[in-house]
Chains A and B, each alone.
Chain A
Amino acid sequence: MRYLPHTQADIDEMLKVVGVKSLEELFVDVPKPCRTENPLELPSAMTEWQLDSHMESLAANMAYSPKFKVFMGAGSYEHFIPMSIRYLLGRSEFSTAYTPYQPEISQGTLQAVYEFQTYCTRLLGMDIATASHYDGSTALAEAILLSIKKTGRKKIAISRTIHPLHRQVLDSYLRPMSCEIIDLNWNSAGKIDISNIAKNESIAAVVVQSPNFFGCIEDLADISALAKEQESLFIVSFTEPLSYGLLKRPGDLGADLAVGEGQSLGIPRSFGGPGLGIIASTKKYMRSLPGRLVGTTKDLDGEDGFVLTLSTREQHIRREKATSNICSNNGLCAVNAAMYLASLGGTGFRELALINHNKCEYLKQQLISVGIEISFSGNTFNEFVINLGDKSEQIYQKLLKKNIVLGLSLGKYYPNLRNHFLMCVTEVMSKGDMDILVKEVKK
Chain B
Amino acid sequence: MSNSSGTSGLILKEPIIFEKGKVGRCGFSLPENDVGDFPLPAELIGEKPDFPDLSEVEVVRHFTRLSQWNYGVDTGMYPLGSCTMKYNPKTNERQAGLPGFSSVHPLLPEELCQGSLQLMYELQEFLAEITGMDAVSLQPAAGAHGELAGMLIIHKYLEKRGSVRHKILIPDTAHGTNPASAALCGYTPVTVHSNKNGILSPEDIQNLMDSDTAGIMITNPNTLGLFEENIIEIARIVHSKGGLVYCDGANLNAIMGIVKLGEIGVDIVHLNLHKTFSTPHGGGGPGAGPIAVTRDLESYLPIPRIVKNHEQYTLDDNFPDSIGKLLTFHGHFGVLVKAYSYILSLGPDNLKRVSQFAVLNANYIKEQLKDYLYLAYDRACMHECVFSDKNQEKYGVTSLDMAKRLIDYGFHPPTIYFPLVVPGALMIEPTETESKEEIDRFIDAFKTIVEEVEHEPEKVKSAPMKSKVRRLNETLAARKPCLCG
Contacts and interface: CB of A to CB of B under 8 A. Distances in A.
Please name the 7 residue pairs, one residue from A and one from B, whose CB atoms are nearest each other, closest first: A272-B329, A331-B284, A59-B100, A45-B347, A272-B106, A332-B282, A345-B53
Contacts of A271: 101, 104-106, 113, 116, 329-330, 333-334
Contacts of A60: 100, 115
A336 B177 CA distance: 26
A211 B353 CA distance: 52
Contacts of B345: 3, 45-46, 48, 51
A2 to B, nearest CB: 8
B71 A93 contact: yes
B93 A329 contact: no
Contact of B473 (A299, A329, A341): A299
A176 interface: yes
B70 A109 contact: yes
Given A51-B345, A379-B44, A36 B476 contact: no
Nearest to A36: B260
Interface in B277-294: 278, 280-287
Contacts of A431: 34-35
A28 interface: yes
Interface in B309-327: 323-327
B352 interface: yes
A165 B328 contact: yes
A359 interface: yes
Given A72-B105, A177-B186, 12 more contacts: A14-B436, A63-B112, A92-B74, A93-B69, A105-B70, A108-B66, A111-B16, A309-B477, A316-B175, A329-B142, A351-B30, A358-B35
A343 B28 contact: yes
A294 B257 contact: no
Contacts of A127: 484
A315 B284 contact: no
A169 interface: yes
Interface stretch (A181-189, A192-200, A246-254): A246-254
A105 B348 contact: no
Given A19-B367, A99-B283, A355-B31, A135 B17 contact: no
Nearest to A286: B481
A399 to B, nearest CB: 11
A349 B472 contact: no
A11 B360 contact: yes
Nearest to A297: B477
B467 A42 contact: no
Nearest to A166: B328
Contacts of B326: 138, 169, 172-173
A295 B477 contact: yes
B308 to A, nearest CB: 14
Interface residues of B, number: 199
Interface residues of A, number: 202
A239 to B, nearest CB: 9
B45 interface: yes
Nearest to B24: A347
Interface stretch (A80-88, A153-161, A228-236, A369-377): A80-88
B335 interface: yes
Given A33-B232, A40-B348, A113 B435 contact: no
Interface in A328-351: 328-335, 338-339, 341-351
Interface stretch (A201-209, A319-327, A384-392): A319-327
Contact of B104 (A1, A42, A270): A270
Nearest to B125: A42
Contacts of B247: none
Contact of B27 (A13, A42, A84, A334): A84
A319 B179 contact: yes
Contact of B364 (A14, A345, A350): A14
Contacts of B432: 3-4, 6
A62 B116 contact: yes
Given A1-B346, A172-B323, A301 B72 contact: no
A169 B304 CA distance: 12
B177 A327 contact: yes
Contact of A114 (B337, B357, B484): B484
A58 B118 contact: yes
A307 B78 CA distance: 19
Interface string B413-455: 1000010000000000000111110000000000000000000
Interface string B220-238: 0000001101011000000
Contacts of B116: 58, 62, 271
A96 B259 contact: no
A273 B107 contact: no
B62 interface: yes
B38 A362 contact: yes
13 contacts: A6-B357, A40-B257, A56-B98, A61-B100, A62-B116, A98-B80, A114-B483, A271-B101, A293-B481, A295-B478, A305-B472, A318-B176, A328-B144
Contacts of B10: none
B130 interface: yes
Contacts of B323: 172
A298 interface: yes
Contact of A42 (B126, B259, B364): B126
Interface stretch (B147-155, B203-211, B390-398): B147-155
Contact of B49 (A4, A94, A333, A350): A350
A268 interface: yes
Contact of B177 (A247, A325, A379): A325
A269 B256 CA distance: 32
Q: Which of B21, B59, B412, B484 has the most CB of A within 10 A?
A: B484
Interface string B330-347: 111111010001011111
A346 B38 CA distance: 21
Contact of A51 (B60, B96, B344, B470): B344
A343 B26 CA distance: 6
Given A40-B351, A45-B346, A293-B483, A346 B48 contact: yes
B29 interface: yes
B298 interface: no
B336 to A, nearest CB: 8
A310 interface: yes
Contacts of A293: 481, 483
A321 B109 CA distance: 43
Interface string A38-67: 111111111010011011111111111100
Contacts of B162: none
A147 to B, nearest CB: 15
A137 B328 contact: yes
Contact of B102 (A10, A99, A269, A359): A269
Contact of A36 (B72, B109, B258, B363): B258
Interface in B223-270: 226-227, 229, 231-232, 255-260, 263-264
B1 interface: no
Given A45-B347, A348-B30, A104 B464 contact: yes
B473 A270 contact: no
Contact of B484 (A102, A128, A166, A400): A128
Given A42-B126, A138-B326, A347 B347 contact: no
A91 interface: yes
A274 B334 contact: yes
B60 to A, nearest CB: 6
Contact of A78 (B49, B103, B351): B103
B482 to A, nearest CB: 5
B188 to A, nearest CB: 8
Contacts of A14: 360-361, 364, 436
A169 B284 contact: no
Contact of B176 (A322, A344, A358): A322
Given A169-B328, A335-B283, A128 B30 contact: no
A76 B329 CA distance: 9
